[in-house]
Structure 1
């Protein structure tokens, strides 16, 4: 993370040396480009990547399935629907985008949870229903964009790719605060979550209130996903890949939150740097790069799961 962060602060239309970066950060050599343009983007990649990694870990623990991530089961699409409504029906202010994203994600999560709850909770059923709901919500999003005014539609389509470009300090205060509160909240229940990941019976005998815990996991996962979507657009596949990569790096039996958060931060920072470098001086949206990398990971994951079956 530190290495990618330093590279992100050095790289741009003009290269800055590490000495110039450290001077800008310490205040001995002020630089508007580094402190006001590049630093917010680097920090956004760090915090948003960590939030997406935690969201993916929560839903993969909840479903006990490596495919159970917000972007696969439709929560990203639901948050995007809420943001689209804010853009097309309302005036599209930052507060409306944030509120619309959270409400859209919660509505889709509620629908998926209710449809998958049949005489008990089933993680596999939730994933399958989530994939179907994701397809339907994506179709609704396309219809909303096609019905919107041309300027709004162009902005919505560009924003839907997911991008950290143009993010400034004024965009980060509230999202960083919300993510910090959500991460602190779920960290306080991390032990109970890992107990529940072992087995429902084990969790109940150790005093874990499963229904309340699952509701909290859903709320925190949706909150992290929707907060990132409201600022940067839907960034796909970070939440899918980060928990599994983090689990393997940590050698853990379950899906721990800290490795997922750190891996998500590295993946999003790395994807954003690749997005800036691949077709320089033209910068790609980070969602394009994360989707390309995540698509390869998803193929590998599906092949592995089919091989097990």
Structure 2
């Protein structure tokens, strides 16, 4: 018993150390987003602007451009991080994340339809994005059900639906009005450009409502990893828990997609990185969200300042994530998991 308690304490300290470190790193990159730009403002000026003081040049740059961009990246990254981790953990497969199985593509298709064809408000785009994500999940479940549930079948069906939805998005871009195409393409690449404070309340509210639900269900999620029979024998109401986790995850992912576009591979990378940092024995939900937020903000800084041309954040995360996807596919194929 002494060694068990000692091990538990060591794992808790590791989780605490990782979470605090990721939070400190997030604080640093968030401040970098506020300080850096075509003009670099001192910390005291940025603090004064945030406290309501008017400073020529700085007030507009911070309030209208940098602060909305930082908040959008922070909340969207956190949403992608926890949402991707939930799907990967619940389905016990690193490929079973919203990017690969088409959930973000479903949200994107609904949002692009509203932007290009219907010309609706941002609130309607957000709602349609959530509905699109939920409908995509439903279709994936129905078509992959078969005689018995198979994770491999679910992933293959998801990839097929994603391809179909990508074709639908291409069609929308072909028939849409010419003046709407650049905005839609910029949004589809995953970008924080043009983020405005009045567009962020749905995302912020969604994360504040659904993230606590996901975190509170973290213990049940860990038990679900043991399998259906083991979870049921330990008193977990598996169907209700799985439904709450799926709906909550799809809602935060869809809201993030509606706000920033489908930022590539953040949902895919955050969970594995967080689990590697935290180790076994503790929930990685919060660390996964923090990793996602750090990835988005850091990638946006790289896209803005590391090259002569400024690139959207989705291009940078895609460059980071694509090699890992290839490596994962090769490793799983060698193990016979594909």
CA distance in 2, matches of 1:253, 1:53: 19
Q: Say which of 272, 280, 292 aligns to 2:319.
A: 292
- Where in structure 2 are the equivalents of 1:235-274 lying within 5 Å? 235-252=263-280, 256-274=284-302
CA distance in 2, matches of 1:125, 1:99: 29
* Number of residue equivalences: 308
CA distance in 2, matches of 1:119, 1:204: 21
- Where in structure 2 are the equivalents of 1:134-145 lying within 5 Å? 134-145=162-173
CA distance in 2, matches of 1:252, 1:19: 42
Deviation at 1:255, TM superposition (A): 6.3
Taking structure 1 as the reference length, what is the TM-score of the superposition?
0.94
Inter-CA distance 255–300: structure 2 relative to 1 (3 Å threshold)? farther
CA distance in 1, matches of 2:85, 2:298: 20
Match of 1:87 in 2: 115
Pairing 1:226–2:251 present: no
Stretches of structure 1 that go unaligned for 5 or more consecutive residues are none
Inter-CA distance 252–125: structure 2 relative to 1 (3 Å threshold)? same
Q: Say which of 33, 49, 67 aligns to 1:8.
A: 33
Deviation at 1:254, TM superposition (A): 7.5
Deviation at 1:271, TM superposition (A): 0.8
Q: Say which of 168, 190, 201 aligns to 1:173.
A: 201
Taking structure 2 as the reference length, what is the TM-score of the superposition?
0.86
Stretches of structure 2 that go unaligned for 5 or more consecutive residues are 1-25
Deviating beyond 4 angstroms after TM superposition, the runs of 4 or more aligned structure 1 residues are 26-30
Q: Say which of 132, 142, 157 aligns to 1:114.
A: 142
Higher-Rg member (1/2): 2
Inter-CA distance 239–261: structure 2 relative to 1 (3 Å threshold)? same
CA distance in 2, matches of 1:299, 1:207: 39
Compute the RMSD of aligned alpha carbons: 1.8
User: Can you list the C-alpha shifts for 1:49-98, whole angstroms capped at 9, x where unaligned?
Assistant: 11100110111012110011101100111001101221233222112211
Inter-CA distance 151–238: structure 2 relative to 1 (3 Å threshold)? same
User: Can you list the C-alpha shifts for 1:109-137, whole angstroms capped at 9, x where unaligned?
Assistant: 11001111223332222112111111111
Deviation at 1:239, TM superposition (A): 0.0
SS of equivalent residue, structure 1 residue 198: coil
- Where in structure 2 are the equivalents of 1:155-170 lying within 5 Å? 155-170=183-198
CA distance in 1, matches of 2:54, 2:179: 41
Name whichever of 157-166 and 87-96 sits farther off: 87-96
Deviation at 1:41, TM superposition (A): 1.3
CA distance in 2, matches of 1:122, 1:97: 33
Pairing 1:186–2:214 present: yes
User: Can you list the C-alpha shifts for 1:14-44, whole angstroms capped at 9, x where unaligned?
Assistant: 1122333333334567531223321221122
| Alpha-carbon contact 1:45-1:269 (below 8 Å) kept | yes
| Alpha-carbon contact 1:81-1:137 (below 8 Å) kept | yes
SS of equivalent residue, structure 1 residue 175: helix
User: Can you list the C-alpha shifts for 1:146-179, whole angstroms capped at 9, x where unaligned?
Assistant: 1112112232122111111121221112210111
